[in-house]
Amino acid sequence: MPRLSELLYLAPSTIFSQISPCNPKDFAPFFILTKGQFLGLRMDPEEIALDLLTDRNAERARNMMLAWDERRNSSWADAARDAEARAASDGHLPQIRGQLRYHLGEAALAQAARSAGAGAIPLKTQPPGGVFTVARVGRFALVSATVQKPKAFPRATMSKKLLSQPNSALDPQTTLFDDKPKPVTDLAYFGCLITVAAMRDPSSPAELALAIPTPSLNRWIAWIPLHRLHAMLQERVDRGAGSRAGEDSVPDVSWPTFKIPGDKKGFGEDEPS
């Protein structure tokens, strides 16, 4: 690449021939708001996620998250206590505690959804071999997951891959240069209710969060700590917000149909995390 002082003495055609071509998509992350301004779209992933979560009933979404917060903290403490009582040795403790966290977390999600009047069903894993809980809140299908540090990804599984496919319409990095914005559909978008394990205290999680993954499961579109989500949902309830995500609403009894993606490499079966 020539220096600027050298370019001053070259003809324009020579200058452009020596400048490396660039791909406009390389600049996508830096122009998200610009697209929103030109097209009149709201590009903030957190706001879009909140609109979808509060679709039909903001109060139900708030109550669901409050109930899950309470039950997940309680189940996390129960897992630590029960593991201590059941482990044959200190070496067995981490495995037993992890299994209890998983199964009690599944129960906490189902109980929270039912107490808030939201839908919760058991779905078989893909490939078959297990069952996991999916809660339906607004236009989101929510599952429980555990990670070891904030914003880390849980183990990628085929079930998560299948559920996350509609999320391409929520990702500003993939929709920036589209000619037309992808519409919000009647499919359930996929979110994870994340529990972050604490390094020192096994009886209390370090953080709880709502996280929205990309369809490829390699990046979070949005990561909203639960304490902040509570405040955002309460604001929606206080102002009587209904749905701003679209005119059509989806009944809570409606569930998406799985479609097997072509590439299955890199994805394992669902298992306790």
Task: Summarize pLDDT for 115-131 with one digit per residue, the tens.
Answer: 999 989 999 988 888 99
Position 55, amino acid: D
The model's pLDDT over 29-62, given as tens digits with 9 standing for 90+, comes to: 444 444 444 344 456 899 999 999 998 899 999 9
Q: Has residue 251 been placed in a domain?
A: no
* Structural domain containing residue 156: 42-238
Average pLDDT over residues 211-229: 96
Average pLDDT over residues 213-234: 96
Residue 107 vs residue 179, higher pLDDT: 107
E strand segments, the chain: 119-124, 131-137, 140-147, 189-196, 207-213, 220-225
Average pLDDT over residues 226-242: 90
Identify the three-state secondary structure at position 124. strand
Q: Has residue 167 been placed in a domain?
A: yes
Cα-Cα-Cα-Cα dihedral of 223, 229, 233, 238, to 10°? -140
Q: Has residue 119 been placed in a domain?
A: yes
Q: How many domains, the chain? A: 1
Q: Has residue 225 been placed in a domain?
A: yes
Q: Has residue 112 been placed in a domain?
A: yes
Average pLDDT over residues 162-191: 71
Q: Is the pLDDT of residue 256 over 60?
A: no
Phi, psi of 21 (to 5 degrees): -70, 155
Residue 264 vs residue 213, higher pLDDT: 213
The pLDDT score that the predictor gives to residue 46 is: 92
Residue 206 vs residue 268, higher pLDDT: 206
Q: pTM here?
A: 0.74
Residue 187 vs residue 143, higher pLDDT: 143
The pLDDT score that the predictor gives to residue 212 is: 97
Strand 140-147 and strand 189-196: the pairing is parallel
Residue 18's pLDDT band (boundaries 50, 70, 90)?
low
130, 116 Cβ separation under 8 angstroms: no
Q: Has residue 66 been placed in a domain?
A: yes
Position 209, amino acid: A
Q: Has residue 102 been placed in a domain?
A: yes
Q: What is the CA radius of gyration of the chain?
A: 22
The pLDDT score that the predictor gives to residue 182 is: 52
Residue 172's pLDDT band (boundaries 50, 70, 90)?
confident
Q: Has residue 27 been placed in a domain?
A: no
Percentage of the chain modeled with pLDDT above 70: 67
Between CA 220 and CA 230, with CA 183 as vertex, the angle to 5 degrees is 45
